[in-house]
Amino acid sequence: MTEKNKGGRPKKAIVRNLSVHVSCNLYERKTIELKAKSARLTVSEYLRAVAITSHVDIKQKTLPKEVLPLAGTLNHVAANLNQFAKLNNQGYNFNAMERAECKVLMNTIEKVVTEIRRYFVH
């Protein structure tokens, strides 16, 4: 016995029954549509091809290991400066030793900032 062909559209090898919603503004939408048209693809085909074949640089959200000690130093200095600011706001007059300590803290901040700049420039 042979099976009788019922007709209709043949089954596809790869079924695409999931969708992804993409938010964009009018300019972005028109750009995507024009690029898809120039590639002679539908928008879905174009976006799938771009997503699969393109490379996107990943944004680094955490501080690199080399910068973490500098962040710790800045936190320590900030705590000390906060204590000086509190005393200053209470009307405390600083002696020469305390003013010198403030200058040391300011120099420490400048060094840390220089190290951070050096790290990110190179």
DSSP states of 58-69 as a string?
PPP-S--TTTHH
Q: Are residues 47 and 83 in the same domain?
A: no
Assign 1 a pLDDT band (cuts: 50, 70, 90). Answer: low
Q: Are residues 75 and 113 in the same domain?
A: yes
When divided into structural domains, the chain yields a total of 2
**Considering Cα of 62, then 68, then 70, then 74, what sign does the dihedral take?**
positive
Q: What is the residue whose two structure tokens read 């699969």?
A: 52
Q: How far is CA 17 from the centre of its chain?
A: 31
Assign 63 a pLDDT band (cuts: 50, 70, 90). Answer: low
Q: Is the pLDDT confidence value at 3 over 80?
A: no
Q: Is residue 3 part of a domain?
A: no
Q: Is residue 52 part of a domain?
A: yes
Assign 122 a pLDDT band (cuts: 50, 70, 90). Answer: low
- What radius of gyration, in Å, describes the C-alpha atoms of the chain? 31
Q: Is residue 6 part of a domain?
A: no
List pLDDT tens digits, range 28-57.
Answer: 999 999 999 999 999 999 999 999 998 877
Buried b (16+ CB within 10 A) or exposed e, 23-34: eeeeeeeeebee
Q: Is the pLDDT confidence value at 12 over 70?
A: yes
Q: Are residues 72 and 117 in the same domain?
A: yes
Q: Is residue 80 part of a domain?
A: yes
Q: Are residues 44 and 72 in the same domain?
A: no
Q: Are residues 49 and 94 in the same domain?
A: no
Q: What is the residue whose two structure tokens read 């099976």?
A: 3
List pLDDT tens digits, range 71-95.
Answer: 788 888 888 888 888 888 898 888 8
Q: Is residue 1 part of a domain?
A: no
Domain around 26:
16-56
Assign 2 a pLDDT band (cuts: 50, 70, 90). Answer: low
Q: Is residue 78 part of a domain?
A: yes
Q: Is residue 25 part of a domain?
A: yes
